[in-house]
Each structure stands twice: as C-alpha cells, then as structure tokens.
Amino acid sequence: MDKSRRSTRTPCTHIVITGASSGIGQATAEAFAGRGAKLVLAARDGEALEAVAERCRRAGAEVLTVPLDIADAEAVRQLAQSARDFCGSIDLWFSNVGVGAVGKFVDVPIEAHERTIRSNLIGHMNDAHAVLPIFMAQRHGIFVNMISLGGLTGTPHAAAYGASKFGLRGFSEALRAEMTEWPDIHICDVYPAFVDTPALRHAGNYTGKALTAPPPMLDPRRVAAAIVGLADRPRDSVPLGAPTWFVRFAHPLAPSLLSRIGNLAFGRYFASAERAPVSRGNLFDPPRDNGGIDGGFRKPAPERRRAVLSVGAGVAAGVLLLGLLSARRSFGR
C-alpha cells in the first residue's frame, strides 16, 4: 500500500511540536497557527516557549505550552496525555529537538557526546513511544522526525550529532515497518541541509573558534512549510536543499571520500576562523537568549549568489568525480 495516500482523510488540526521555542520549531508553530491549528508546544525554556505561544495566539491559534526536557521519558508521557486532554486527539507530532557538540571527538567531553545522543535520539524515541499508542487507539496520526543532512553522511567535528542522526534514520525505518498494518499512521523524515537558525549559536563549542555553516543556508520557514505540507500529504522522506540531494547521490558511491572532504573543509575553516571561548552551549541548560526563528548566518543577496555559484561549481565537480569513480568501479569488475 502506498502510505503517501491516506485511506481516510483526517484534517491535521491538533499539533504537538517539541523543540518549539526557536528556529524550525518556532517557524513550524507559527505556520500551523496561520492555518488555525490547535497547538501544544514543548521545550525546556518556558519563557521562550510562552513568547512563541503568544505569537501563535495572535494568529488565532489555541495554544498549550509544556516546559520539559524530552530526555525525560515520564515528562514526555505526561506531555502526550496533556496534549490529548487539551486537543481531544493528536493529528501530527513533530519531534524536533536537536542539540550539538562541535569539536574533534577526543576534545569533546564524553558527557557532551552522551547528552547529544540523549536529546537527539533517545528524546525522539521518547516522543514516539508516548504518541504511537495514541495514534493506534485513534487509528491515525503523523509522526514527523527532524533528522538532517547529518543522517546521510558522516559529520566530522560533530561525531555524536552524526551518530544520533544516523540512529534516527534507522529508528524511523524500523517504525515504518512496524506501522505497515496501520495505513493511516505515517512516519515521516525531514532531511534539511544547513538551516539558518539559532541552533548553531546555541551549540556546545569545543573548538575554540567561532562557528558558522557553509552556504547556501535554508530559511527555516522553508523547512516549516515542508513540515506543514506533510500534514496534507505524508511522505516517508523529505530532502531539502541542494547539498542534501547531492549527498544522497554521492554517499553510496564514496562514503569515506565524502567524509574526508568534509573533514578537510572544516579543518581549513577552523584554521582561519576567529577565536571564541569554549562553551557547553545549550547542551545541559536552555540557551540564555530567546532564540527566534533566524540565526543571522545567511549572507546578503549579492554575497549569497556568489556563494551559491561557488558551491554549485563544487557540487558539479564532486558529481563528476563520483561519477568517474563509479564508472571506474563498474569497468573494473
């Protein structure tokens, strides 16, 4: 059965979003609010969460906020129960929490690696474990897993982040297999490339250098629009951004080469980047600022066009190189 076509059309009006206090989570909350959805928003920072809720209420949405840490399984179970009590049902659950620790693996404290895994992988498993029984009881529901480009290729200088995202990909595939007998329960994965959110500013930084991401960076609202689109047409996998499409093609052909190129690129960047203090970021505590949707990393339009052309040329060269490697392998058999 093609699960991208729901056999029973149920409008998605009751939405739960974890990691809703900034970035993609906030953008998605505001996008659903514009559609008149009833929202349950969760994150660690209650003050920032309430600021997002007020924006959604001004757009006409009914909103419940639940401050919690999704690494706490019991708190997530209570979130699911509160959401069902508030909404009557849950149509879509967006599992969006994501943290990161940037630095060479051996330079990052093991507790920072562990915290990344607990938030990005175990936390999402807590979300699913809490909501899937509700979906099964009501016989419909959409679980949206925020993964990332990091779920498709190795992430040097962010090893635990990549491990968590690879784990999420496997977790989603397992859930989809188990949900086969439930045609109106969908497990959807979203794989954006680099997104311009406060997440990079909030990350644990063990490099001693200022963090940034390569262009082109996605507008968080574009990612939010894709998630809202899943409410109308659920799909197993949603890649976003040219780098994600390139990596999906390139990784099966030359996974080690791709990771080494990434390692060289990050190494060159850190060699010349400005110094910055080592920081645990938001790994163990909520960020000190209220976040907002945008991270402020995107370049002005003229610089962005030049960067896109430069990246495009690099992608084309990479595709050509990988094509040659693939052809060489084929002829060498």
Q: What is the CATH number of the domain that holds 156?
A: 3.40.50.720
pLDDT at 16: 98
pLDDT at 264: 78
In a domain, 118, yes or no: yes
What number is the average pLDDT over the span 188-198?
95
> Which tokens hold the place of 298?
């995107």
Q: Above 70 in pLDDT, residue 317?
A: no
Residue 321: band (very low, low, confident or very high) from pLDDT cuts 50, 70, 90: very low
Of residues 213 and 182, the one with the higher pLDDT is 182
> Which tokens hold the place of 277?
């203090």
pLDDT at 263: 73
What number is the average pLDDT over the span 241-264?
80
In a domain, 313, yes or no: no
Residue of 161, 191, 206, 269 marked active site: 161
Q: What is the pLDDT of residues 67-84, one digit of tens each?
A: 999 999 999 999 999 999
CA distance 247 to 192: 11
Q: Above 50 in pLDDT, residue 4?
A: no
269 is catalytic: no
In a domain, 83, yes or no: yes
> Structural domain tally of the chain?
1
- For the chain, percent of residues with pLDDT exceeding 70: 86
Q: Above 50 in pLDDT, residue 6?
A: no
Of residues 286 and 222, the one with the higher pLDDT is 222
Across all residues in the chain, what is the average pLDDT?
Answer: 86
Element (H, E) at 55: helix 46-58
Q: How would you classify residue 146: left for phi > 0, otherwise alpha for psi between -120 and 50, otherwise beta?
A: beta
Domain extent at residue 106 = 14-239+248-286
Residue 312: band (very low, low, confident or very high) from pLDDT cuts 50, 70, 90: very low
pLDDT at 318: 47
158, 104 in Cβ contact below 8 A? Answer: no
In a domain, 61, yes or no: yes
What number is the average pLDDT over the span 115-133?
98
In a domain, 94, yes or no: yes
Short-list 65, 156, 45, CA closest to 107: 156
In a domain, 46, yes or no: yes
- Residue 329 φ/ψ, nearest 5 degrees: -65, -45
73, 97 in Cβ contact below 8 A? Answer: no
What number is the average pLDDT over the span 10-39?
94
Residue 85: band (very low, low, confident or very high) from pLDDT cuts 50, 70, 90: very high
In a domain, 73, yes or no: yes
90, 83 in Cβ contact below 8 A? Answer: yes
Cα dist from 131 to 26, 70, 314, 321, whole Å: 21, 13, 42, 44
Angle at 132 between CA 126 and CA 137, to 5 degrees: 145
Strand partners, 63: 39
Short-list 281, 297, 219, CA closest to 27: 219
pLDDT at 1: 40
Instruction: Please tell me the pTM assigned to this model.
Output: 0.86
> Which tokens hold the place of 158?
């962010």
With b for 16 or more beta-carbon neighbours within 10 A and e for fewer, the 177-201 pattern comes to eebeeebbbbbbbbbbbbbbbbbbb
Residue 37: DSSP 8-state: -
Q: Above 70 in pLDDT, residue 333?
A: no
**Residue type (1 letter), 243:** P
The dihedral through the CA atoms of 204, 205, 210, 214 has a sign that is negative
Of residues 316 and 16, the one with the higher pLDDT is 16
CA distance 278 to 72: 27
In a domain, 64, yes or no: yes
> Which tokens hold the place of 225?
């629009």
